[in-house]
Amino acid sequence: MKITNVEAWVVEPDLGVFIDSHFGSEWQWTFVTIETDEGITGWGESSNVPRKTSLLTGAGVRAVKDALIGEDPADIERLWHKLFRRYTYLGSRGFPTTIISGIDIALWDIKGKALGRPVYDLLGGKMRDDIRTYANAWFGGCSTPEQYHAAAKKVVADGHDAVKLDPFLEMNEFHTMYQDGQISAAGENLGYDIIASVRDAVGPDVEILVDAHGHYNVPTAVRLANRLYDDSQIGWFEEPLPPEGLDALRSVRRQTRAPMCVGERLFTRWDFSQILHEGLTDYVMPDVTWTGGISELKKIAAMAEIYFIPISPHNAQGPGQILAGGHVSISTPNFYRLEHAIEFKPQYDRFLTEPLEWVGNKLLLGDRPGLGRELDMDAVRAALHPDWVA
């Protein structure tokens, strides 16, 4: 079998109030398709965030096409390394690994379809029958503890037993810009009150995960994490600091009682190596569309397994991401929970020919070949970003 074409498709999902309030609707998903001379087409996802950067990764996928045409799509490992070395002279992680990710996922989809087996079977088979998730409940429109209380009750009533949020609303506007790492006393206290209110709403048995979005300096991160843990027993404090450098993370780790989760902005096994070796986190959360695809997520999971650290894949993009992360999750011993965004679910299904299958808060994968779902190319074409030329 030979690869005959590689294409990227940048679409605009309709993600509603959360994204609009944070990013002014500037959010796209990048899908990847790989065609072969035997009629099998695979697909993957190379989405970036936010502000039109999915157009950049889409252009990146097109730029590396020449390295793939004529190659045997079965040689996933070799093609991963070919791309990783051929296009990374100015740096090997992040942007290039996002391009590689969508291609890698599409190659696994092709391999599964060619062999008539689901991808998880090619990764060693099932460790479990379904995939535990946690709900990234954006709580769009909520601003008071009372509103969060009511919204959290609904999330649990809908069948979720783990919920993630960022209660420090004042920091939203600094989500992707430089800031001093501090928060006002009023903003900090409102955040504590929101989490206490959510804890009151959901009871003691539901996990509350707090995403700090890399906003803070060391003393602020330490103070927030410890107070949230002592007052409201949070399950983890995620990305306390900007992702650059380990010295500050070591300092936070030494001073913090709350469990820690990092990794959505760590790329490839090399970025995770020192974190795991030094015990700087309790959970790792690689993103399958950013860290290097199914191949790389599986390797990072095996590295974490050595340290008995659970893996909880980051998942804040589209349907290719949740399916690819799902196939690794279902086949991985040290899997914890797969993220999913409640408000994104209709948009996952919008771009698939058949909807994803859920039982309560668990994702099912079924036993169809490859990723198990097909991109709806009519829906993709109908939602192309105006700046993307098909």
Shortest reach from residue 145's CB to Mg ion, in Å: 22
Place of tokens 């040689």: 75
Q: Which of residues 36-75 bind Mg ion (CB under 5 A)?
A: none
Q: How far apart are CA 225 and CA 167, in angstroms?
A: 12
The vertex-91 CA angle with 172 and 296, nearest 5°, equals 80
x-or-dash string of contact with Mg ion, 211-250, rule CB under 5 A? x---------------------------------------
Q: Which of 22, 149, 314, 340 is catalytic?
A: 314
Count of CB atoms situated within 10 Å of the CB of 183? 23
Interaction residues for Mg ion, span 175-214 (CB under 5 A): 211
How many residues bind Mg ion, per CB under 5 A? 1
Nearer to Mg ion, 35 or 211 (CB): 211
Residue with smaller CB distance to Mg ion, 211 or 296: 211
> Of the two residues 188 and 211, which places its CB atom closer to Mg ion in the complex?
211
How many other CB atoms are found less than 10 A from the CB of residue 374?
16
Closest to Mg ion by CB, 33 vs 47, is 47
As measured in angstroms, the least distance from the Cβ of 62 to Mg ion is: 29
The catalytically annotated residue of 22, 149, 213, 327 is 213
Query: Could you tell me the two tokens for 10?
Result: 């940048």
Q: Does 296 bind Mg ion (CB under 5 A)?
A: no
Residue 290 CB, nearest approach to Mg ion (Å): 12
Q: How far is the CB of 316 from Mg ion (least distance, A)?
A: 7
Closer to Mg ion by Cβ: residue 139 or 388: 139
Q: Which residue is nearest to Mg ion (CB)?
A: 211
In the annotation, is 213 catalytic?
Answer: yes
At its nearest, how many Å lie between Mg ion and the CB of residue 264?
Answer: 5
Distances (CA, A) of 126 to 121, 122, 279, 371: 7, 10, 28, 14
Q: State the minimum distance, in angstroms, from the CB of residue 85 to Mg ion.
A: 30
Nearer to Mg ion, 137 or 365 (CB): 137
Catalytic residues: 213, 314
Q: List residues near Mg ion by CB under 5 A.
A: 211
